[in-house]
Every structure is written in C-alpha cells, then in structure tokens.
Structure 1
Amino acid sequence: MTPLLLIEDTPSLQMVYESVLRNAGHEVVTAGNAAEGLQKFQENSPHVVLLDMMLPDRPGLELMRDFLDMCPKTKIIVVTANGSINLAVEAMRMGAYEFLLKPFNEQRFLHAIENALQDAMRLRGDPAPAADTGPLREFVGSSSAMAEIYGRIRSVGRSMATVFVTGESGTGKEICAQAVHNASHRASGPFVPLNCGAIPGDLLESEVFGHLKGSFTGAIADKPGAAAVADGGTLFLDEICEMDLNLQTKLLRFLQTSTIQPVGAPKARKVNVRIICATNRDPMEEVRRGRFREDLYYRLHVVPIHMPPLRERGDDVIEIAEDALARFASEENRRFTGLSPEVKKLFLRLPWPGNIRQLLNVVRHAVVLNEGPVLTLDMLPIELHHEREKFAAPATSAAPDRPHVTLGGLVGKTLAEIEQLVIEETIAQHGGSVPKAARVLDVSPSTLYRKREGWNGNGRG
C-alpha cells in the first residue's frame, strides 16, 4: 500500500493527525518541514499528500507546485488556519484537491482523505486523460465561455470545497450547482436547493436548521431543516446575500463545526454536507456595505464560478433555443422543426436581459400558441415585435379596419390609440382569439372584451 504523506511542522498536530489516520487503517509517512517533505515525496511517490500551508523553511504553495510538476495526478489536501484562508483559496486555484480549515473535525478530515484516495486509485496507472471541455449533460451550449465553466465544474466536483456561483438572474446558477453535485462523490446523495430570498427572514433559520414541535408559535410538528435533509449530499443556498446577518453568524458556525442545532433542540448534532451558494449580486460589494459578513464571504468564496450572461455566449443562444423548441414541442404535441433564419438573426442580436430564463419563456410562448412547423418572427411575443421591425419589410398596405402596427406608425398617436392598435393587432395575429391575445399581453380576457366593447360603443371598432 502506498503511504499517505503528512507534512505538518507542529509536533502535537502531527501526532494527532498521524494517530487519526493510522486508527483509520492508513499507512502514513510524516515530515516536519518542506525540505523533508520533498525528500519523502520523492522516496515514496504518495498518491495523497496532506500539506500544511505554513511551513518554517518554505511556503506551502511553492512546495505544492513542485509536487504537481513532478506528479500531476497527486491529490493534495492543504491545511491552513482561519487567518490564512486566502492561501487555501489560491491553492485550490493552483490545483489542490481539497482544503481543510483549522480547527476541523475528525469526520471531515477522514472524509476528505477517503475521497482523495478513491480518485487517486481510479487514476492509478491510467494515462493522463485529455482535458474534457465538452458540454456537461446539465447544459446546452459549446461556446468558449462555457467550455471554461465545464472545466471548472469537472475540476471542483470531486472535492469538498465550497463553491460560490455568481451571475445575472437567469444565467443558470442552480443548474451549475446541480452539475457540481452530479460530478462529485455525493451524486447519489440528496441535492437540496434553498432560495434564501424567497423565505421570510423570521422563518429562514427554521428552514435551514429545522425546529422542534412547540419551539415557537405555529411549530405544530418537528421539521428537519435543509441542512439535515442534505446530510450526505449537497446544500445549495441560492441568493445567499439575502440572508439575515444573525443567520449568517449561525451559518458560519455550521461551516466551521459541521453541526446543526434545530430551533428548540437541546443539543447540536453532526451532519456531512457540502455547501454551494449563489447570488446575482456582487458579494464583495455586499461585504463593503456591511450586509454580508467578511469572514463568511472568505469561508464560502473558495472556488468561484461566474456564469456568463447569454449575450456573451455567441451561438449558444441558437443551440439553447433549438433544444428548448424540440422539448417544448414534444411536451405540447406541436410539430415544430426549427427556427427561421430571421428568428436566428434576431436572437443573436437581442441583449437578453433576462438571459436563458427569458429565452426559454419566449420559445415556450411561441410553441404554446402556434402549431409550427418553423418558428417565425410573427410567432414571437409582442414585447419582441419592435426588434422584429428591424428585419421586416415595410408594410405596403394595411386593411383599414385593422392597420398593421409599426413603430413609425405609432408616432403622433395618443396613448389610447396606441393601446387599441396593439391590442387589435395581437388579437388578429392569434386568429381572432381574445384569450390567446390576453395571455400574450398578460391581462385577463375580460379586460380585452371590456375595452373592445368601449371602442365599438364610441364608433372606433
């Protein structure tokens, strides 16, 4: 059996770590400084190294770089204190497998070692695989911007490191979190998403950590919190910057101790949970404004992943739209086969402020209200029609009772006249169906019926 290499300069900690590892059945070789560690590494070729970042004779980051240069497959678990977490973050970016923040519990320690050994054994003797940057099954899109995301997810998936996902609303942050979970050793365990911005502040602690029956008014039964439900898996905290400062303190304690104490419970208990969090805000700006704890930020912001907006993903917008069109057509029993060239051109030019969520909404809208077979410009929602005008030929004629609405044709009209033109045009584009037009305009059908009756009564219908 190839031994583990433990490099720790504090004799008492070296003894504790070595004892825990040997009691768990591992063979261990120890070193007290960088020079001795490098010698032991060359002599034993360990598959897993436990490396303290603060060594007396040389920075741990430099030593780790040497190890990875000599054997890129080595799984290096770095150890650091609270005050040096930035070193751990840098180590993860340089290729460390995992990091442990002192003080850590035995369960977390051994779990990290076991994960590293499993990966090392899987790769032992195999040729180094080519870097895989192709799309993950959770995503659609092959742009260079996303290839970097796919590589980062694959890299971090196997570790226990906390992942902090940022990006505009609708860019796929939860899908990213799910992909990290699926790429990890925890894939068979639960993935528990919790939107911190959608839960009232006074209920959020109970939602995260749970409560006991009778612990507060309305607690009519015991409730396991999301952290307990995620035991053995991943807890995804979406919109983390919405979390109350008092609860941030409890979350920090949870991250440091891996223990939870439900509201009303007499004592805490251990859980084994990986944390992934996300926000559409700038987390560092939230720290500067005093709305997010700095120590919690550095504890969570270990491996950052920034999801690019759709407007920066090039042809991905067409791939996503075509994939969505096929899925929605199947769900709605429609006969769509693809996008028209004009729609593709428009989609590539739109800024998509709502990102993927907006694009999916547009495609579903077209599928629900039309039969196909090709998605054309006139099937798009009314809010995109002004963009359509950039590509449509000028109208040569229009029926007097239903003039075609163009942007130029609205200039000089009153708001009431513009409203009538838009409503009548929308109804006409949907075969005279008031309910379908109401759905597009996001109003009730009764509102449209009432307006049309008023226009007819005034001789304008």
Structure 2
Amino acid sequence: MPITSQKTLVYIVEDSLSSGALYRSQLEKAGYEAKHFVDGYSALAAIKEKMPSVIIQDVCLPDISGLNVLQFVNRQESPARVIIITSNSSIEVAVDAMRLGGFDFIEKPFSRERMVTSVQDAVKQINLEKIESKTVKIEESMAPELSFIGESLAMKTVFRLLESALRSKASVFVTGESGTGKEVCAQYLHSYSARRDAPLIAINCAAIPGELFESEFFGHIKGSFSGAVSDRKGAVEAANGGTLFLDEICEMDLNLQAKLLRFLQTGTFSRVGSTDVIQSDVRVVCATNRHPAAEVGEGRFREDLYYRLNVIPIQLPPLRDRGNDILLLANAILTDKNEANNKEFNRFSLDVQSMFMKYDWPGNIRELQNIIENMVVIHSGNEVSIDMLPESFAQSGSHTIPSNTFATNNVNISSNYLAKNNRHNNSNSNTLAYQADIKDIIPMWLVEKNAIEKAIEICDGNIPLAAAHLGVSASTIYRKIKSW
C-alpha cells in the first residue's frame, strides 16, 4: 500500500483494452489511483495536464512509439518514473528505453506481483529523493570507502552513468580490470539508492563450487541433497528489497545462467528440492574483469542474459589511464591509512609522485592501496620519500610508461600533431601541407560508419556481437544502417 493517505496516481499507456483494464484493476486493488490510455497522444495530453507519479508504458502503440512518451516525460520539470512493458520480440527496444531514462522494464506476460512491486519501488525512489532534498546530503554520512575520487574525463563519464543508474531499477553491468573498484561501484549504487536500508548481498561466482552454486543462489530445503540438514535461504531471497551483486558473472555455469534469466524475467524462483514459488524484488549489479561480449561470442555466456544484464553498462578505467587521479587517490589513501595506523604523513615527495605517475599499476587501485599501507605501517615521518617504497615496487619498472594500445595511439597522435605544427611554422610550403590536412578530415558520421562496418566484418556479420563490442544495442546499429 502507498505510504501517504492521498492515493498515488499511476498512468497506464497500453493499446490493449483488456490488458489495460486488468492492470488498472490490479493497481487499484493495491491502493493506487490508476488511469488507462490506449494511445500515446492521449497519454501526452493527460501528462501535460497533470504529471502522475508513475507511468506504465507499453513500447508499441498505434500512433507513436512509447519511447517518444518516455522522452517527453523526462524533459519535464518533475518527471514521473516510467516502467516499460514489452514483449520478448522488442527486448532490445526496452533496453534502449532504460538507457533513455526508464525506471524499469517488464516482459509480457508478467504477474500482478511483478508489476505492483515495480510501482512500489518507483514510488519509494521518489519519496527518498523528496526527503533528501530537505535534509543533509547523503555524501556527508557516507563511509569513505564508498566514495569515488576522480577528475579525469573517464571517471566523469562513470559518475554520469552512476547518477543515471540511481534513478532506475535497471540491471547494471560493471566491467574493468581487477582492482579498479567494481565492488565499490556496487556499494555506491546500493547505498545511494532507495534500497539502502535493505541488504546488499554479494556473490563471487568464481569462488563457489559448481555443485553448490544453485543452492547458494536460490537456497534449498532440508534433505534436498547430501549435507542439506536444514532449510536455507539463498542470496536471491536474502537480498529481497535490496541489491544483489554478482561478481565475476562470466564464471557462472550456463545451466544456472538460464535460471538467473528466468528469475530476472519473472521475479520468482524456487529453492533446490522445492516446487514452492517465491517472489523476490532485487536490483542486480554484476561485474567481470573479462570481456563479456567475447564470452558471448565463444558460447560461454548466454547472449539473452547478457542483453538483459547489460542495460546500463559501466566501464571502469584502469588506473594507468586516469592521469592526475593517481595522485588524488594516493593522497586520499594516505589520509585513511594515517588515521588507521596513528601516523602523521601528510605528503609524498616529488620523486614518489613522479614514480606513481609513470608506473603501469597492473593491480590498479588495490595495488596503490597496498603500497601506501606498506609504507605507512613500516615507516614514520611527515613525508613519504622514495627510500620508503617497497623494494619490489622500486624494481618493477615503475619508470616506464605502459605500452598499451591507447597510450601508444595517444603518443603517436601527439607526435604527429606536433610534427605537423612544426611544419606549419617553418615555411610557406608547410601552409599548403596544412591545407591538405584540412581536406583530409573525415566527417564524424563517416568515421562512425567505418567503425561499425569494420566491427561487423570482424564479427563475421554477427551484428548483435559487433554491437556488444561497440557498447551499443543491436537495434541502434540497425537504425544506423537504415539511415545510411
């Protein structure tokens, strides 16, 4: 039931009269005020007159796309939370809708409980934002380990995606090398969301034996297998109302992947050894240090599950690609380790800063934390000097800039740019060379077209796989091809 005495207003935009009437009846029985619209333009007119709290929006309408309604709603000052409903055939469109700011999406046919739970979650998120606007900001009460530090362009992109994800119930797929902060990302999403008072349950998919995986995930009843001496809740049930974090998701057995997909579609599951159906409302955040699209291509990860989980993809950059963030993080870690060990370090020497900036950081932030903790625990003083660095770090080639693809490309681009500028400034003939360079500039749409066509060629014509590697949905590529 809604918390307030005044009924929460929900609009249903569904072209089927019977389905719309059913949804309206179910919501009214749950205590909501509901209105049904059979086309997009009728819904837009009603939204202009009065914005509801929640909109249950069908994607396929007889007049306009449900995505048009979603985009209109999100341009308003106090937008409703939009729950997308869709058939299996338009799942990619639903994923696009989530990336445009939808709150949740449900595949038809769905149960009354699934729909009502999604509406409740949306209302809960709205109420939380209203409360926070009148009280102290969350950041002031957050534990230090849950905060992100960074000013690099790569991290600003991550922050923007996290902010979008907080307003949604959609699954988040976090990728990145080991030690880049994938678990911190999950903690952040949980602790800043309306689910923060419910549990955050983490499962390391690589650390659980295959024969125990289903039990750990869904639980079991007494006697269902050897060693099951009592009933036991699984992670999905324990996380009800909160967040389920699946680390190293690509290590999950294919058989369990199918069961996870069914749970994500229906919100229901059964314990091992039981036929009783249990409902659980969780927000899934998953992570891997592998390339999930490559795992899909190799047949080790289900393509349908990948698209279901990869609604909001977040790529965490390696530490070596974050520039001055290295020193920002180092100083923050130094302050934290000082307090934990009752030390008085307040700065790094210039030599240490230089080594930190040149080092490859194969272990990323986790390695940076370990090195600083080692120095703080063993030594004392005000300044961290180069002789305090662990011997293994000093001998590990920290003076060499990593030769990864992006660094190499950036160096080549910079070198070419400087060389061209030198030519421009030396003679009149160089001015002609400069003009020739201007003519060689390729329009952005053509750069995009070439990149997409190359990806499709590399993937042997498999457009969904190419889309996954490019970080877009397959429907986006199909639209691009049609526009060309």
Query: What TM-score results when the alignment is normalised by the length of structure 2?
Result: 0.74
C-alpha spacing 1:150/1:240, structure 2 compared with 1 (3 Å): same
2:65 maps to which residue?
59
1:298 maps to which residue?
307
Contact 1:133 1:151 in 2 (8 A): no
C-alpha spacing 1:274/1:332, structure 2 compared with 1 (3 Å): same
Q: How does 1:427-442 map onto structure 2 within 5 Å?
A: none
Residue number among 146, 150, 174 corresponding to 1:142 in the alignment: 150
Alpha-carbon distance in 1 for matches of 2:274, 2:365: 42
Contact 2:343 2:376 in 1 (8 A): yes
Q: How many angstroms does 1:350 deviate by? A: 1.3
Alpha-carbon distance in 1 for matches of 2:262, 2:327: 45
Residue number among 146, 169, 179 corresponding to 1:170 in the alignment: 179
Alpha-carbon distance in 1 for matches of 2:75, 2:394: 56
1:24 aligns with 2:33: no
Q: How many angstroms does 1:170 deviate by? A: 0.7
Which deviates the most, 160-169 or 381-390? 381-390
1:253 maps to which residue?
262
Alpha-carbon distance in 2 for matches of 1:133, 1:303: 23
Task: Give the match's secondary structure for 2:317.
Answer: coil
C-alpha spacing 1:226/1:44, structure 2 compared with 1 (3 Å): same
Task: Give the match's secondary structure for 2:75.
Answer: helix
1:277 maps to which residue?
286
Contact 2:358 2:399 in 1 (8 A): no
What amino acid is the match of 2:53? H
Contact 1:158 1:183 in 2 (8 A): no
Q: How many angstroms does 1:358 deviate by? A: 1.0
Give the superposed CA RMSD.
2.7
1:405 maps to which residue?
none
1:323 maps to which residue?
332
1:91 maps to which residue?
97
Contact 1:329 1:336 in 2 (8 A): yes
C-alpha spacing 1:121/1:264, structure 2 compared with 1 (3 Å): closer
1:112 aligns with 2:118: yes
Q: Which runs of 5 or more structure 1 residues have no equivalent in the other structure? A: 392-461
Alpha-carbon distance in 1 for matches of 2:129, 2:79: 7
2:376 maps to which residue?
367
Residue number among 9, 32, 38 corresponding to 2:15 in the alignment: 9
Alpha-carbon distance in 1 for matches of 2:139, 2:335: 25
1:427 maps to which residue?
none
Contact 1:29 1:40 in 2 (8 A): no
What amino acid is the match of 1:307? L
1:75 aligns with 2:84: no
CA deviations 1:366-419 (Å, max 9, x no partner) are 12222233211122122322468859xxxxxxxxxxxxxxxxxxxxxxxxxxxx
1:50 aligns with 2:59: no
Which deviates the most, 110-119 or 170-179? 110-119
2:107 maps to which residue?
101
Task: Give the match's secondary structure for 1:187.
Answer: coil
Q: Which runs of 5 or more structure 2 residues have no equivalent in the other structure? A: 1-5, 401-484
Residue number among 318, 340, 357 corresponding to 2:349 in the alignment: 340
C-alpha spacing 1:119/1:265, structure 2 compared with 1 (3 Å): closer
Q: Compare CA radii of gyration and give the structure with the larger one.
A: 1
Contact 2:14 2:58 in 1 (8 A): yes
1:380 aligns with 2:389: yes
What amino acid is the match of 1:32? V
CA deviations 1:112-135 (Å, max 9, x no partner) are 2233334446778x99xxxx999x
Contact 2:73 2:79 in 1 (8 A): no
What amino acid is the match of 1:282? H
Which deviates the most, 205-214 or 96-105? 96-105
What amino acid is the match of 1:62? N
1:396 maps to which residue?
none
How many pairs were matched up? 387
Query: What TM-score results when the alignment is normalised by the length of structure 1?
Result: 0.78
What amino acid is the match of 2:39? N
1:159 aligns with 2:168: yes
1:183 aligns with 2:172: no
Alpha-carbon distance in 1 for matches of 2:195, 2:60: 30
Q: How many angstroms does 1:32 deviate by? A: 0.8
Contact 1:133 1:150 in 2 (8 A): no
Alpha-carbon distance in 1 for matches of 2:336, 2:29: 53
Contact 1:3 1:44 in 2 (8 A): no
Contact 2:84 2:106 in 1 (8 A): yes
CA deviations 1:89-122 (Å, max 9, x no partner) are 1112212222222233322312222333344467
Alpha-carbon distance in 2 for matches of 1:25, 1:211: 34
Contact 2:359 2:398 in 1 (8 A): no
Contact 2:243 2:282 in 1 (8 A): yes
Alpha-carbon distance in 1 for matches of 2:329, 2:236: 33
Q: How many angstroms does 1:325 deviate by? A: 1.8
Alpha-carbon distance in 2 for matches of 1:389, 1:307: 22
1:221 aligns with 2:230: yes
Q: Percent identity?
A: 43
2:478 maps to which residue?
none
1:357 maps to which residue?
366
C-alpha spacing 1:388/1:279, structure 2 compared with 1 (3 Å): closer
1:192 maps to which residue?
201
Alpha-carbon distance in 2 for matches of 1:272, 1:67: 26
Alpha-carbon distance in 1 for matches of 2:156, 2:384: 28
Task: Give the match's secondary structure for 1:197.
Answer: coil
What amino acid is the match of 2:254? L
1:409 maps to which residue?
none
Q: How many angstroms does 1:305 deviate by? A: 1.3
Contact 1:377 1:388 in 2 (8 A): no
Contact 1:346 1:388 in 2 (8 A): no
What amino acid is the match of 1:41? I
